Copies of this chain bind each other. A is one copy, B any other.
Amino acid sequence: MRRVGEAAFSKVEKINSELFSLTYGAIVTQLLKDYEEVDATNTQLEKMGYNIGVRLIDEFLAKAQVGNCGNFGETAEVIAKVGFKMFLGITAEVVGVSEKEFSLQLPENPLAEFVELPEQYGSLAYNNMLCGVLRGALEMVQMRVECSLTKDALWGDEVTEIRVVLKEMMEEEYVDDD
């Protein structure tokens, strides 16, 4: 699908999170049906998230009015307190910050409200789209990262946790207008 005119989208519109979580559930179910196994579904959810993240970053930068982050820990705080709030209506906690790593803990998760994983899908990374979104969005601001779901309330953990590891600060590409 081609998408046009995103710059003109100037206010943050909201929709119901129940509709969102059901719609997201429909994707996960469809992918499990298509790929017939959990690992491939996990991978595909991450890829799908990546494609969403590379687009979502524009809205974030246009509306969040945040400055450049001085270090990776600041980046973590902005994602946790501004990004998650803007898109999912929740805030995350930042833990385990170092120069090149941090984790985001979600005390609640609108993607997975009311979801229970059936036994045969116990290793499904249901929320892997979030990892992809972070990877895609950060790549657009010159940070190549790897993200992984390290804990998940659906797996019985207390919180859902995403580990983000900085692999490379990418060079900005300057495009010559001529």
A contact set with B: CB distance below 8 Å:
1-6, 9, 12-20, 22-31, 34, 48, 51-52, 55-56, 59, 86-89, 110, 113-118, 126, 129
- Contact in complex: B1, A28 (CB < 8 Å): yes
- Contact in complex: A114, B52 (CB < 8 Å): no
Query: How many of these chains are in the complex?
Result: 2
Q: How far is the CB of A116 from chain B (nearest CB, A)?
A: 5
Residue of B nearest to A53 (CB): B22
Q: A15-B88, A16-B59 are in contact. List 9 more A-B contacts (CB 8 A).
A: A3-B113, A13-B16, A15-B89, A16-B87, A16-B89, A22-B52, A26-B48, A26-B51, A26-B52
- Contact in complex: B23, A23 (CB < 8 Å): yes
Residue of B nearest to A33 (CB): B34
Residue of B nearest to A16 (CB): B87
Q: How far is the CB of A85 from chain B (nearest CB, A)?
A: 10
- Contact in complex: B18, A9 (CB < 8 Å): yes
Q: Which of these, B4, B16, B48, B116, contacts A114 with CB under 8 Å?
A: B4
- Contact in complex: A56, B14 (CB < 8 Å): no
Residue of B nearest to A48 (CB): B26
Cβ contacts under 8 Å, A24 to chain B:
23
Residue of B nearest to A28 (CB): B1
Cβ contacts under 8 Å, A89 to chain B:
13-16
- Contact in complex: A2, B34 (CB < 8 Å): no
- Contact in complex: B59, A4 (CB < 8 Å): no
Cβ contacts under 8 Å, A116 to chain B:
1-4
